[in-house]
Structure 1
Amino acid sequence: MTPRTLPTPPRRLLLALALIGTALCTPLAHADTWPSKPIKVIVNFPAGGAADQLARAVSQPLQEALKQPVVIENRGGANGNVGGEAVARATADGYTLLMSSGGMVSVNPHLYARMSFDPAKDLMPVAAAARVLVFLVTRPSLPPTDVKSFMAYLKANPGKLSYGSPGNGSSPHLAGEMFKSQAGLFALHVPYRGAAPALQDLLAGQIDYAFDPGIALNQVRAGKLKLLAVGSPHRSSQFPDVPTLDEAGLRGFDADTVFGFYAPAGTPPDVVAQLNTQINRALALPAVKERIAAIGGEPAPGTPADFQRRALADSQRFGALIRERGIKAD
């Protein structure tokens, strides 16, 4: 009997099977080969700020773990939107990351009528780095010595005191507006182009108080500024005797922001998982903890899902505040 010859599969079917095989093998192949070149971390704020310091603190142990250079590149502008867009448009291969404040994801969409990208869709959370607190500080010549007497002093002098912030929509600005809203106060907001110039004017007595993102803590320790309260649900581990605004009567006051790492949407899950693991390990190192503490922050290890949940909660909270106070971007 003549053997039956099987028909040759159609070329289209062979191509489809080849594509399926490639797709099935890609995650494992990527896990085996990544990283094979330097990783770039774009910081969407200028050098020296909290985001920059956090990126540099984590980059050294991260590159030691991954055995590839981790290069920091600062691209500030538009409350973080410039650097955010650069990463959102980058190739989703795990070689371009973003270090940002949570505000770029949870606040900016409420501030800007139009953005060139959608942070919620075009970026994916990789790992939170730190919870950054804000501290209510005043010039030392101001009479009140505690937060309750300070609020009474503000109420007795409506519109006569001013507070500074790094700019409209910044977390210290939102903290200041949250403070006025919940306490029923009125004070003049003075926006600056950065936290450093706001601090300089506070030290010089040109403004009366500020919600500081951590850069004024050395001046507090030196007695050049008075620290009255923490704008966080929990007391600061560095200043355990300083009350929170929640304890002072402003129930639920929470102006914390979470800084962390993002990747372009579509980055392979195995790469995101590796990055998350190594960043969490870096956050547990004493040297990294010390650098985070120096800016008044606290490590915030967790999963990408934890990070995303926090961003969504912040978006709802800050979005309501922005609408209530009519806050707009510069």
Structure 2
Amino acid sequence: MPAPRPTRRALLASALALPALGGPAFGQGWSPDRPVRLVVPFAPGGSQDVLGRLFAQAVTATVGQNVVVENRAGAGGLLGAEAVAKAAPDGTTLLLATAGQLTIAKAIGRRLSYDPIADFAPILHISDSPVALIAAPNLPVQDLPGLLALARAAPQPMPYASTGIGTNTHLIMEDLKARERLNIEHVPYRGAAAAFNDLMAGRIAMMFVSVPSVLGFSGGQLRVMGVTSRTRFPAVAQVPTLIEGGVPDFEASIWTGLVAPAGTPPAAVARWGDAFRQALESAPVKTRLAALGAVPNGADAAAFGALLRADLARWTRVAAPLAIRLD
């Protein structure tokens, strides 16, 4: 007797029970089934590009699939972030992000085609790099408390430099200015080199710069007054923190993190978090991070998401009275 023919409903139920063809099976032990894009939103050759290629090489060995760096430079990293925000949330597109794309841009009122919180899935807080506060050599001060006291009592605003309007170094100084009631005014530069020259000549009084910029400055004449890490930074361990210098809870970091498009399945987020954290703990990555003036972080997706929200709130508060217009 021939077997009964399956009903249309039974065929449909069987089809729905099978994994979809042509895409990754997001489940326990998920792995990508095609090359993965790690978007670096800056041009080749910079520190973020170096970091991206280092991670791509380390993670490729872990996941058993090629992780390829794709440089999407432009608009301070916003073009690369936009490309990832609009990519399919299938676990094969990642963004090596900084605050410039995910918190500062929105805080200073840039016109964005994406929401930096809602349109991304946080994966991992990769690293932190504090900035250092340096002072002109002609100022009559010896330490951070002296510098802050001088700036509070100045009869005329003391000029301070930044590496550009709306940058980390601008907003961090404005936050310090508001907290400590400093009489200082902003002088933006296109980069650190010209600002260094004016600082050494006494034309500006102070500035925040990255630790690698301090370490790379020749001549040894910079007066480093403090760093913005919570504890002393290994590369300049002789320099006190701003907290030690009397500014309660003042901490700031130029951080790097990993995100994917919103809607990326949790299995893929967990897999990438594990793979990049494993790379972060390797000796070659730690050594390179140290050379770039950064320290590993490794906070998970939930903690990194909380940082993004706190960072956005902080810089929005700092930027609000500045009326920054860049677009």
TM-score when normalising by structure 2? 0.85
Change (3 A) 1:194 1:221: closer
122, 130, 135: which one aligns with 1:133: 130
* Counterpart position of 1:153: 150
CA distance in 1, matches of 2:255, 2:113: 23
1:245 aligns with 2:242: yes
* Counterpart position of 2:19: 22
Query: SS of the counterpart of 2:299?
Result: coil
Change (3 A) 1:288 1:77: same
CA distance in 2, matches of 1:98, 1:138: 36
Quote how far apart the aligned CAs of 1:300 are. Answer: 0.5
1:36 aligns with 2:71: no
* Counterpart position of 2:225: 228
Change (3 A) 1:67 1:10: closer
Give, as a single letter, the amino acid of the residue that structure 2 aligns with 1:151.
L
Give, as a single letter, the amino acid of the residue that structure 2 aligns with 1:56.
R
Quote how far apart the aligned CAs of 1:275 are. Answer: 1.6
Quote how far apart the aligned CAs of 1:195 are. Answer: 4.5
CA distance in 2, matches of 1:69, 1:222: 44
Percentage of pairs with the same residue: 35
* Counterpart position of 1:274: 271
Show CA shifts across 1:161-184 (max 9, x none). Answer: 322222222211111101111111
CA distance in 2, matches of 1:253, 1:21: 54
Query: SS of the counterpart of 2:224?
Result: strand
Show CA shifts across 1:70-105 (max 9, x none). Answer: 333333333432111011112223332111113422
* Counterpart position of 1:254: 251
CA distance in 2, matches of 1:163, 1:265: 39
Given that residues 94 and 272 in structure 1 are in contact (C-alpha distance below 8 angstroms), is that contact kept between their aligned partners in structure 2? yes
* Counterpart position of 1:207: 204
* Counterpart position of 2:61: 64
Query: SS of the counterpart of 2:235?
Result: coil
CA RMSD in angstroms, aligned pairs only? 3.1
Quote how far apart the aligned CAs of 1:147 are. Answer: 0.9
Quote how far apart the aligned CAs of 1:55 are. Answer: 1.9
* Counterpart position of 2:94: 97
Range 195-204 or range 110-119, more displaced: 195-204
Q: List gaps (5 residues or longer) in structure 1.
A: none
* Counterpart position of 2:282: 285
Given that residues 171 and 255 in structure 1 are in contact (C-alpha distance below 8 angstroms), is that contact kept between their aligned partners in structure 2? no
Change (3 A) 1:150 1:319: same
CA distance in 2, matches of 1:252, 1:274: 34
Quote how far apart the aligned CAs of 1:10 are. Answer: 4.0
Range 306-315 or range 46-55, more displaced: 46-55
Query: SS of the counterpart of 2:95?
Result: strand
Query: SS of the counterpart of 1:120?
Result: coil
Give, as a single letter, the amino acid of the residue that structure 1 aligns with 2:290.
A
CA distance in 2, matches of 1:127, 1:155: 39
CA distance in 2, matches of 1:289, 1:297: 9
Quote how far apart the aligned CAs of 1:320 are. Answer: 1.7
TM-score when normalising by structure 1? 0.85
Give, as a single letter, the amino acid of the residue that structure 1 aligns with 2:41.
N
Quote how far apart the aligned CAs of 1:248 are. Answer: 2.1
Query: SS of the counterpart of 2:258?
Result: strand
Show CA shifts across 1:5-56 (max 9, x none). Answer: 9796345x74365235436993249825x2432x322222344544334323
Given that residues 110 and 326 in structure 2 are in contact (C-alpha distance below 8 angstroms), is that contact kept between their aligned partners in structure 1? no
Q: List gaps (5 residues or longer) in structure 2.
A: none
Given that residues 165 and 172 in structure 1 are in contact (C-alpha distance below 8 angstroms), is that contact kept between their aligned partners in structure 2? yes
Give, as a single letter, the amino acid of the residue that structure 1 aligns with 2:30.
A
Change (3 A) 1:124 1:203: farther
CA distance in 2, matches of 1:193, 1:54: 23
Change (3 A) 1:126 1:163: same
Change (3 A) 1:194 1:44: farther
